[in-house]
Amino acid sequence: LERYLSKEISKTLMTVLLVLLLVATSHKVVKLLGKAVAGDISPSLLLQMIGYQWPELLAFLIPLALFLAILLS
């Protein structure tokens, strides 16, 4: 029973985390593209800035994804 629950929760956790990360990253990309178009930041730094913001996003999204995975499993 424990292995079954762990397998189900981990599968759901990865799916939920991927979806949340995609949504949060797309939101950050839109904000950064707006700044790049306005000339506030260099367009060549966009991917680097997104990559630097992922640890902060993951620190927020992993507990949320775990909670949602438990609810959905």
Dist. CA 49–CA 46, nearest whole Å: 5
Dist. CA 16–CA 13, nearest whole Å: 5
pLDDT single digits (tens) 30-56: 999 999 899 888 888 888 998 899 999
Confidence at residue 13, expressed as pLDDT on a 0 to 100 scale: 95
Dist. CA 15–CA 35, nearest whole Å: 30
Query: 59 pLDDT exceeds 80?
Result: yes
Residue 5's pLDDT band, with cuts at 50, 70 and 90, is confident
Joined together, the tokens standing for residue 5 give 């629950």
Residue 15 backbone dihedrals phi, psi, to 5 degrees: -65, -45
Joined together, the tokens standing for residue 43 give 């367009």
Joined together, the tokens standing for residue 65 give 């994804």
